[in-house]
């Protein structure tokens, strides 16, 4: 490398005035470290530029500052000391920002996934509730059916068929009376007209020709057997339509079902 030609090229002056590209300025720095002549010339040029600037500098009058301050009407700020941030901390800050962005994105992603999972859990819980209700309902029906079979298989039980009167000739019902326990069950209801809101069907046992109240009942199609009152002796059973809650004596004009033992 011809150092004299390099110095005389004017590249050092351009470097000091900030006119070089980043790559060119880096090259000057490298040469200044490698060659003492170039480094010395840079120092001399820096001194010359500084002396030139000082030679043209004009010191302002002492009153100028106060005049400007009075016109602008501001409080002179205190000098703020600027501490340069080392490159290591700049990298750390940049890494922290990137980490924060990645964390926020990850949090949003996993939040959405958690919401989806929670929705699926709620759906499964709802389905589980439905299945549990269906299971309990089926279990109850099975228990009632099993109980009905056990009652009918009991040798002490008497099954009485009640047939419809002229008011409802197609109506039918079954009375299961256990002579040992004295329990009376009603089931097998069919074709009985639905009563009005203020009326209810009532079962009667005929004991020595006299009617005995056995209780009121509803037309519950989901119940195999409805347990009513107990009776120690009976020759027949009948059903009448009475006021809601029952009547102390049967209304014979509202007789719907009757069956003898």
CB 181 within 8 A of CB 221: no
Residues 186 and 230 in one domain: yes
Top mean pLDDT of 13-22, 30-39, 229-238 is at: 229-238
What does the pLDDT read at residue 18? 81
Residue 136 in domain: yes
Residue 144 has pLDDT above 60, yes or no: no
Residues 149 and 177 in one domain: no
Residue 71 in domain: no
Residue 253 has pLDDT above 60, yes or no: yes
Residues 161 and 256 in one domain: yes
Residue 117's alpha-carbon distances to 8, 113, 120, 127, 232, in angstroms, are 75, 6, 5, 15, 62
Q: What is the pLDDT of residues 70-79, one digit of tens each?
A: 655 545 555 6
Residue 72 in domain: no
Share of the chain above pLDDT 70, in %: 71
Q: What is the pLDDT of residues 82-94, one digit of tens each?
A: 555 555 445 555 5
Confidence of residue 124 (pLDDT cuts 50, 70, 90): confident
State how many domains the chain has.
Answer: 3
**Residue span of the structural domain in which 183 resides:** 157-260
Share of the chain above pLDDT 90, in %: 40
Query: CB-based burial of residue 201 (10 Å sphere; 0-12 exposed, 13-18 middle, 19+ buried)?
Result: buried
Residue 132 in domain: yes
What DSSP element (H or E) covers 143? helix 87-153
What does the pLDDT read at residue 47? 85
């Amino acid at each position: 490398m011809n150092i004299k030609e390099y110095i005389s090229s004017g590249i050092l002056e351009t470097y000091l005035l900030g006119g070089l590209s980043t790559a060119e300025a880096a090259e000057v720095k490298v040469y200044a470290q490698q060659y003492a002549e170039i480094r010395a010339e840079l120092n001399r040029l820096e001194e010359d530029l500084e002396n030139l600037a000082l030679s043209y500098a004009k010191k302002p009058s002492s009153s100028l500052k106060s005049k400007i301050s009075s016109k602008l009407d501001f409080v002179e700020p205190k000098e703020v000391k600027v501490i340069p941030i080392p490159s290591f901390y700049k990298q750390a800050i940049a890494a922290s920002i990137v980490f924060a962005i990645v964390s926020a994105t990850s949090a949003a992603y996993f939040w959405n996934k958690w919401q989806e999972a929670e929705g699926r859990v709620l759906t499964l819980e709802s389905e589980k509730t439905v299945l549990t209700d269906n299971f309990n309902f089926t279990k109850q029906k099975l228990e009632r059916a099993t109980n009905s079979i056990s009652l009918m298989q009991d040798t002490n039980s008497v099954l009485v068929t009640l047939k419809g009167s002229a008011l409802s000739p197609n109506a039918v019902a079954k009375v299961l009376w256990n002579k040992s326990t004295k329990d009376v069950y009603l089931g097998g209801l069919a074709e009985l007209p639905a009563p009005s809101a203020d009326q209810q069907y009532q079962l009667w046992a005929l004991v020595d020709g006299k009617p005995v109240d056995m209780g009121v009942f509803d037309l519950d199609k989901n119940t195999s057997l409805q347990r009513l009152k107990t009776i120690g002796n009976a020759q027949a059973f009948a059903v009448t339509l009475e006021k809601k809650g029952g009547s102390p004596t049967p209304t014979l004009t509202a007789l719907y079902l009757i069956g003898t033992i």
